[in-house]
Amino acid sequence: MARPLRLEFAGAIYHLLARGNERRRIFRGEGDREQFLALLERSCARYEVSLLGFVLMENHFHLLAQTSRGNLSRWMHWLMVSYTTWFNRRYRRSGHLFQGRYKSFVVEEGEYLLALSRYLHLNPVRGKVLGAGSPAERRERLRAYRWSSYRGYAGLAKAWAGVEEELVLGEMGGDRRGRAVRYRRFVETGLVEEIANPLELVRWQAVLGSEGFVRRMQDRMAEMQEGGRGEVTALRQGAKRARPEEVVAEVARHYGVAGKVVDGDELMGEARNVALWLIWERCGLSQREVGELFGRMSAAAVAQRLRRLKPKSLRRARSLADGMSNV
């Protein structure tokens, strides 16, 4: 039986989980973890992936990541094969290190990503053994755990160089220091209160998000199945994609400048960023093609704009997307 397709597209955010074969250890000491993190940082640069968070346990790891090129499978293949090769050579072993395929969940930005990041960061103090002790004892262990991005997020240590925190911390509001304090309180509330496992809300093809987000992911998967795995090919197969001029007109109407602009390059401020996101999301264009509509921006500049879109602007863009007739 053929393996099911993974949802892969530029800008997708994933929660990724890989376990050791037969649940055996994949990290036998600090040197193993350091090597894995070095390969992880190298792989993110190589495949243009934004790492949003990580937790390394003895027999598994969790990652939060955003792909700018829709290349999840190639990135994860390189990372896992590279680490397995290194691990096998170091311990003079052969064969599989990881258990089957890694799990991947597509995650919606905003509250869903924030809740998932908390769940991920609490891993070192969860379970019968690791979760033993009082809330104060668990808090101390959590804050001392080195093999996680939590200490950087919480402002307890310098952020690991490979982690981009803005997408998650932006949900907390305020300045960098204030966001870190609020995030720390948000996460550590889970030590004294029962919090739901966000992965229990996963629906359909491993998608975590709102009803509208799940519908959009279903549309993407249908297009992939009809048009092949390639992201741009799949997007262009869709008959319901919007035209860029329609998106610009809708954004101009929303921001009260209807009749004053005729293309995306004439929009300014938040309206420009919202239009850029909508055209990329709804028109089936590559980032290079989107850039051509906004004053010959490079594909890299478009990708950077998409990653740095403020949460408030992103919510507005999604609201407009849900209201458009061709969504």
One domain for residues 61 and 179: yes
Residue 74 lies in a domain: yes
One domain for residues 62 and 140: yes
One domain for residues 176 and 266: no
Total number of domains constituting the chain: 2
CB 21 within 8 A of CB 97: yes
Confidence at residue 320, expressed as pLDDT on a 0 to 100 scale: 81
Residue 76 lies in a domain: yes
One domain for residues 174 and 313: no
| Angle at alpha carbon of residue 312, lines to 49 and 67, rounded to 5° | 10
One domain for residues 197 and 70: yes
CB 53 within 8 A of CB 15: no
Confidence at residue 250, expressed as pLDDT on a 0 to 100 scale: 85
Q: Is the pTM of this model over 0.75?
A: no
Residue 80 lies in a domain: yes
Residue 216 lies in a domain: no
DSSP of 125-160, one letter per residue? G-STTTT-S-HHHHHHHHHH--SBSHHHHTTSSPPP
Q: What is the CATH number of the domain that holds 252?
A: 1.10.1750.10
One domain for residues 18 and 74: yes
Full residue range of the structural domain in which residue 250 is found? 240-323
Q: Which of 201, 218, 248 is a domain's end point? A: 201
Confidence at residue 269, expressed as pLDDT on a 0 to 100 scale: 82
One domain for residues 273 and 196: no
One domain for residues 290 and 183: no
Within 13 Å and on the Cβ side, how many CA atoms surround 256?
0
Residue 218 lies in a domain: no
Confidence at residue 231, expressed as pLDDT on a 0 to 100 scale: 40
One domain for residues 187 and 284: no
Confidence at residue 37, expressed as pLDDT on a 0 to 100 scale: 97
Confidence at residue 28, expressed as pLDDT on a 0 to 100 scale: 96
pLDDT in tens, the chain (327 residues): 345 568 898 899 999 999 999 889 999 999 999 999 999 999 999 999 999 999 999 999 999 999 988 899 999 999 999 999 999 999 999 999 999 889 999 999 999 999 999 999 999 998 765 667 888 999 999 999 999 999 999 999 998 888 999 999 999 988 878 999 999 999 999 999 888 888 888 887 689 998 888 888 888 887 776 655 444 333 333 335 678 888 888 888 888 776 555 455 566 788 888 888 888 777 767 677 788 888 778 777 777 777 677 767 777 887 787 776 443
One domain for residues 193 and 255: no
H-run or E-run covering 213: helix 211-227
Residue 192 lies in a domain: yes
Residue 210 lies in a domain: no
Q: Is 235 strand, coil or helix? A: helix
Q: Which of 146, 173, 201 is a domain's end point? A: 201
Q: What is the CATH number of the domain that holds 55?
A: 3.30.70.1290
- The pair of structure tokens assigned to 46 is 């190589």
Q: Which of 178, 201, 224 is a domain's end point? A: 201
One domain for residues 96 and 181: yes
CB 220 within 8 A of CB 212: no
Confidence at residue 76, expressed as pLDDT on a 0 to 100 scale: 97
Residue 219 lies in a domain: no
- The pair of structure tokens assigned to 154 is 């919480």
Indicate the angle between helix axes 72-90 and 30-47, nearest 10 degrees. 150
One domain for residues 184 and 319: no
